[in-house]
């Protein structure tokens, strides 16, 4: 994410906007998503889980502060999903259940991010308007109520091979994908990534779901409501 913020600064430095670059950036929605890949790289031999989470959150806030200093005033953040419930994590568990140790790291990060961002906004980003979408809760709800969400398969990947179609990454030799007509029945495309159907349902929830179950301090819809948002959405992803 640091590299992408640097790339954006280079682009912003060369922007020519009417009536002003400052107004354009202030009216833009900056969408950030990060953290999942960082947990994949976690090595417990080099740091405790608590210290790792603190470092991640501290770095995340630094990136948001950097964007704020460039002129960002409206930020939408996706928190870390239940990373222990991907097919790739389930395949290593005795009965295909979620890896709750991995999920606990995601929950610790999400909770600390909310607390520290609120503190930082009050201290050094007083004009910041933001929403932290409860990606974790939204995907958990889909798994717990899969038929209501229109999903028939929440444990098995559409594309891959082996147990749960998650022992070999999709596109590697010997892997196959589910029939095209069934793509929308699956929560996960491969051992890690959600399908378009999952993402479409999640977007509706993060924009229009009510209460902290879906977003804090407000949902994405409330964040942008009544604002003349620029058509271009700035994205920073991991």
Q: Domain total for the chain? A: 1
| Gap between the Cα atoms of 118 and 113, Å rounded | 8
Whether 19 is in a domain gets the answer no
In-domain check, residue 95: yes
pTM comes to 0.89
Q: Please check whether residue 108 lies inside any domain of the structure.
A: yes
Max Cα separation, the chain? Answer: 60
Residue 161 three-state SS: strand
Domain assignment of residue 74, yes or no: yes
Determine if the peptide bond prior to 19 is cis (ω within 30°). Answer: yes
Instruction: Please report whether residue 15 resides in a domain.
Output: no
Using alpha carbons, select from 229, 222, 25, 34 the residue that is nearest to residue 131: 222
Does 182 map to a domain? yes
Tens digits of per-residue pLDDT, 127-162? 999 999 999 999 999 999 999 899 999 999 999 999
- The pLDDT assigned to 221 comes to 94
Residue 17 located in a structural domain: no
pLDDT for 226:
52
- In terms of Cβ atoms closer than 10 Å to its own Cβ (0-12, 13-18, 19+), residue 161 is middle
Structural domain range at position 110: 1-9+24-237
For the chain, list residues with pLDDT below 50.
227-238
> Tokens 């405790």 sit at which residue?
48
CA distances from 5 to 20, 66, 193, 221, 233 (A): 21, 8, 24, 25, 14
């Amino acid at each position: 994410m640091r590299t992408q913020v640097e790339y954006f600064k280079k682009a912003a430095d060369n922007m020519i906007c009417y009536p002003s670059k400052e107004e354009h950036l202030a009216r833009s929605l900056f969408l950030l998503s990060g953290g999942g890949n960082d947990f994949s790289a976690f090595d417990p031999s080099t740091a405790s889980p608590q210290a790792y989470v603190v470092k991640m959150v501290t770095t995340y806030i630094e990136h948001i502060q950097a964007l704020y200093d460039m002129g960002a005033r409206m930020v939408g953040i996706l928190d870390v999903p239940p990373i222990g419930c991907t097919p790739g994590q389930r395949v290593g568990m005795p009965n295909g259940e979620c890896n709750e140790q991995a999920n606990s790291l995601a929950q610790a990060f999400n909770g600390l991010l909310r607390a520290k961002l609120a503190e930082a906004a009050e201290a050094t980003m007083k004009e910041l308007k933001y929403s932290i979408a409860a990606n974790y809760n939204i995907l958990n709800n889909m798994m717990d109520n899969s038929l209501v969400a229109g999903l028939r398969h929440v444990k098995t990947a559409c594309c891959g091979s082996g147990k749960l179609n998650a022992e070999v990454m999709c596109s590697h030799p010997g892997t196959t994908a589910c029939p095209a007509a069934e793509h929308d029945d699956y929560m996960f495309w491969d051992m890690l990534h959600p399908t378009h159907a999952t993402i479409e349902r999640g977007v509706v929830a993060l924009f229009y779901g009510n209460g902290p179950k879906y977003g804090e301090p407000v949902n994405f819809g409330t964040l942008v409501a009544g604002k003349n948002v620029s058509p271009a959405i700035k994205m920073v992803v991991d």
